Chains A and B, each alone.
Chain A
Amino acid sequence: MAIGKRKKITVAELDRIRRRGAGPLRYYDLVLVSIREVLRKRRRYIGVLASIALGMAGFIVIITMGNDLKKNFNNDLDLLGGATIMNAMFEQIQLERQEWFRERTLAAIGRIPGVLDTTKVALKASAVTTWHDRLFGFNLVGCEANYWKVFSFNATVGRLFDQQDVDAGARVCVVGADLARQMFGQEDKGLGQILSIDDNLYTVVGILGGVRAGDRSQFVFLPITTALARVGGVSQPYSCYIRCATWDDVATVAAAVPGVVKANQPDRGLRVNVAWEPLKQVQRIFWWVELFIYSSIVATMILGGFGIWNIMMATVTSRTREIGLKKAMGALDSDILYQFLFEALCVTLSSSVFGVILGRIGIEYMSRMLGTRPPEGMFVLCLLMGLAFAAILGVGAGLYPSIRASRMQVVDAMRYE
């Protein structure tokens, strides 16, 4: 019989036993005990589980879809304000010859960090054409094929001329919407018509559209090559437009442009025009949006953290007797610490699993409403962040109560009724 087997223990042996007992199997057993404990007392944890799960679901939906919303928002707001587009131009100074942008200058500007695209234009302010014996005045713009993209323009009717047209110096033109209505009565009637400008004939291939097309509704656009070659009195390309990747790049790019120009060509009369006011407005709006998103996240964290903290503290008090008993049975302080920590982790991790499932449902629902596809990469990132967050929450909020439990004196625990 093993019970009653004689044992003699020395102090050295106690330390040996402690070292022997510190293997991974011990933690495995403690984890199992903790899981069992949580499962058996699940009713106690349902409240905090639900709140963390809901918080986590909200967190995932906000982050995943919030970014989607932000992108949409970004585009729309930017189109309205044109806040990321700036204009650089050379002014006419008295009687000196007006400077204009050289190819290598534009290429160098294109290489400034934060610049998305540049496009140069040649202008003629008072061009005229006749249509059915009526005289029409307009602004003539010779532009490159990427002009449309820089301003996010599109064609309401027909097409916008492309790189091929520019390379070939094709005799095609795009007409502003108001001008088209005045000349042809209806926009779509202009398509395919032949306009005579400065003794050359041009085919109308499209009518300009897009959110910012309004202030160019009296314009006629020709490929820049065609304009420079055929239109008398057209300027050299003394003006160019620079589109930045984000609002945050605008200030640095604007500051860098003069230096880059000066390094490549004479910069006499150079001026950089930035729409500072819309830029500030857009940034302000977005600051609020981001504040909202991040404060939601912080609120979730704080609420979840307090919940688990609170319940763990209550648990430690209500389980004083149990802690004393376990210590009487020979549990080390660290055994108690790990048990409580594992329990907290068990609650937060299973909460976050529920939260991820709920969040996924929310995302599906929202993206169906918005008619977009949920960004899967973002979701996976959120999933990982959610799990990491749960682990941090479990350790962060569970640690102090666990330490308190482990430090508890056995007498206090045993005398506690």
Chain B
Amino acid sequence: MSNQYDIADDNALVIDINNLTKTYQTGAGGISVLKDVNLHVRRGEMVAVMGPSGSGKSTLLFILGLFQPPSTGGYKVAGVDVLSLSRDQQAIFRREMLGFVFQSCDLLENSTVYENLELPLIYAGVRRRERPDRIREALGMVNLEHRLHQPSNRLSGGERQRVSIARALVNEPEFILADEPTGQLDRENSLRVLEYFTKITEEARTAMVVVTHDNMTAEHCTRKCVLTDGYLNG
């Protein structure tokens, strides 16, 4: 398959990482966290990144999310060399193409579900009258339309995580990054969240990278990678 990103291709390569390294500079010298990471994720794929604590999972996730640059290596998303973008271009790229689901949900306190989902749309400059439909559709993916105007702090843990999934979806991303998405959920709610993930990758063909150390979560993914000693195997 070519490196060219094909918009009509249901299996197009969305994430293309080659020979990525990351070295943190500290007072005691450099800590080489990622030594040679290669990762290729296609549409509809859901890849689990596993590894023990301190192995560099978060580091990789932050690089994937354009929160910090790698030391060396190449990173393309949907055919765009995102490392060469300016700070503002990266921010725009993030809101157009990337969605995030974090372990601790991170919904805005004292805000309703609607307001939480509206924020990414405001940043993306979506017109006011287009927002309700987009928000309803995203909530529909996680079956939470009936919670639209509920204050976010009156939701259960599972519901909160589903709302943050909907928020990741609302800008119609090509690729979703999840950091321990089931870390704070019980088994039943975890399963539910994972079912939605599967549904999203299958129906919307969104590429997904899930950082986790939970085996059950990894089992639900289409592929499993393990980060050890700075190398990603799998």
Contact = CB atoms under 8 A, between A and B. Distances in A.
Given A7-B78, A409-B67, A331 B123 contact: yes
B3 to A, nearest CB: 14
Interface string A21-32: 101011001100
A213 to B, nearest CB: 72
Contact of B124 (A9, A21, A40, A410): A21
A1 B124 contact: no
Contacts, number: 129
Contacts of A14: 85, 89, 92-93, 96
Contacts of A29: 122, 128
A41 B115 CA distance: 15
A319 B6 CA distance: 40
B197 interface: no
Interface stretch (A230-238, A320-328, A348-356): A320-328
Given A3-B204, A23-B125, A11 B78 contact: no
A329 B172 contact: no
Contact of B80 (A9, A30, A333): A9
Nearest to B91: A332
B137 A330 contact: no
Given A331-B123, A410-B67, A7 B106 contact: no
A15 B90 CA distance: 10
Pick the most buried of A1, A3, A23, A330: most chain B CB atoms within 10 A of its CB: A330
A5 interface: yes
Interface in B75-98: 78-80, 85, 87-89, 91-98
Contacts of B95: 329-331
Interface residues of A, number: 43
B86 to A, nearest CB: 9
Given A3-B172, A5-B172, A14-B85, A330 B106 contact: no
A328 B169 contact: no
B119 A329 contact: yes
Given A330-B123, A332-B92, A4 B85 contact: no
Nearest to B164: A325
B125 A330 contact: no
Contacts of A1: 137, 203-204
A26 B92 contact: no
Contact of A4 (B58, B97, B171, B206): B206
A322 to B, nearest CB: 7
Tier of interface size on chain B: 35 or more
Contacts of B138: 3
Given A331-B123, A333-B87, A7 B174 contact: yes
Given A8-B7, A33-B122, A2 B92 contact: no
Contacts of B200: 3
Contact of A15 (B5, B89, B102, B205): B89
Interface in A73-95: none
B72 interface: no
A260 interface: no
B42 interface: no
A7 B206 contact: no
A195 interface: no
A5 B172 CA distance: 7
Interface of B: 5, 7-8, 58, 62, 65-68, 78-80, 85, 87-89, 91-98, 100, 102, 106, 108, 110-111, 115, 119-120, 122-125, 127-128, 134, 137-138, 141, 167, 169, 171-172, 174, 200, 203-206
Interface of A: 1-11, 14-15, 17-18, 20-21, 23, 25-26, 29-30, 33, 36, 40-41, 321-322, 325-333, 335, 409-411, 414-415
Given A25-B127, A330-B95, 13 more contacts: A2-B134, A2-B137, A2-B172, A3-B138, A4-B172, A18-B92, A21-B125, A26-B122, A36-B115, A327-B91, A329-B94, A330-B98, A330-B123
